[in-house]
């Protein structure tokens, strides 16, 4: 083996470790558990719904820490329109966000058995273009992209509709969702919501 081969192998190993290493939460998990108490009134109630428009408050247990932080920052900066979340997130420091995100990331994916209204089979086919970011079955390995597996169907529908109407602004998502019909959105949401292992509700 010559020096050039060693360099190539070294780069390969480095890149493999870099891109396949699990995301490490920067926050304090124990502190995050305490700080999450203010969120538990909504996010620790199975099946709890937003009043208007009506959709289930998202499951957070098992979500990537990196994505949770970016979502909280989006609410704090008013990039996501939800008065309750904007108000709560605006009061959080960067340390608070890291701690809460670290706590939520400690949860394992849970068993998931739900009834959905969309067509799961059709949704799997339509979600093929989502795999690159969100992973097979919605269990992404990249902390920058949210896990979708097991998330409430109604919440996924609402999020996709918001990206389609650009109420949520993200160039990639706006482009991906823009051409979807309401039936496409319903089917994709059903597929991700129906995964047997997925996100869960944070137990109080």
Beta partners for 49? Answer: 56
Give first-to-last CA distance, the chain, whole Å: 57
- Measured CA angle at 40 (ends 76, 187), to 5 deg: 75
Tokens found for residue 108 = 């394992």
Q: Is the dihedral of CA 18, 173, 202, 74 positive or negative?
A: positive
**Would you state the pLDDT for residue 105?**
98
Whether omega before 137 lies within 30 degrees of 0, making that bond cis, reads no
Which of 192, 190, 188, 191 lies closest to 176 in space, CA to CA? 188
What's the rounded Cα separation, in Å, for the pair 64 and 82?
21
3 state SS of 34:
helix
Torsion on CA atoms 32, 35, 37, 42, rounded to nearest 10: -90
- Output the DSSP codes for 158-199: HHHHHHHTTSS--HHHHHHHHT--HHHHHHHHHHHHT-SEE-
What's the rounded Cα separation, in Å, for the pair 149 and 65?
16
| pLDDT < 50 positions in the chain | 1-24
CATH of range 27-198; options 1.10.760.10, 1.10.287.130, 3.40.50.880, 1.20.1260.10: 1.10.760.10
Instruction: Parse the chain into domains and list their residue ranges.
Output: 27-198
Using one digit for the tens of pLDDT, what is the confidence trace for 110-128?
999 899 999 999 999 999 9
**Would you state the pLDDT for residue 204?**
81
**Would you state the pLDDT for residue 26?**
84
Beta partners for 61? Answer: 200
């Amino acid at each position: 083996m010559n020096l050039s081969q060693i360099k190539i192998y070294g780069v390969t190993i480095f890149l493999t470790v870099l891109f396949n290493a699990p995301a490490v939460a920067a926050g304090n998990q124990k502190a995050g558990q305490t700080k999450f108490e203010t969120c538990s009134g909504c996010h620790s109630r199975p099946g709890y719904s937003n009043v208007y428009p009506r959709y289930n408050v998202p499951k957070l247990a098992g979500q990537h820490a990196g994505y949770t932080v970016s979502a909280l920052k989006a609410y704090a900066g008013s990039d996501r329109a939800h008065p309750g979340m904007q108000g709560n997130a605006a009061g959080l420091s960067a340390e608070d966000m890291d701690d809460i995100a670290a706590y939520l990331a400690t949860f394992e994916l849970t068993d998931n058995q739900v009834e959905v209204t969309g067509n799961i089979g059709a949704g799997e086919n339509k979600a093929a273009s989502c795999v690159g970011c969100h992973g097979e079955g919605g269990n992404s390995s990249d902390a920058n992209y949210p896990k979708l597996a097991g998330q409430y169907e109604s919440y996924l529908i609402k999020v996709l509709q918001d990206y389609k109407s650009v109420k949520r602004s993200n160039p990639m998502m706006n482009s991906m969702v823009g051409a979807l019909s309401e039936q496409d959105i319903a089917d994709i949401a059903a597929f991700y919501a129906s995964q047997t292992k997925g996100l869960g509700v944070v137990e109080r």
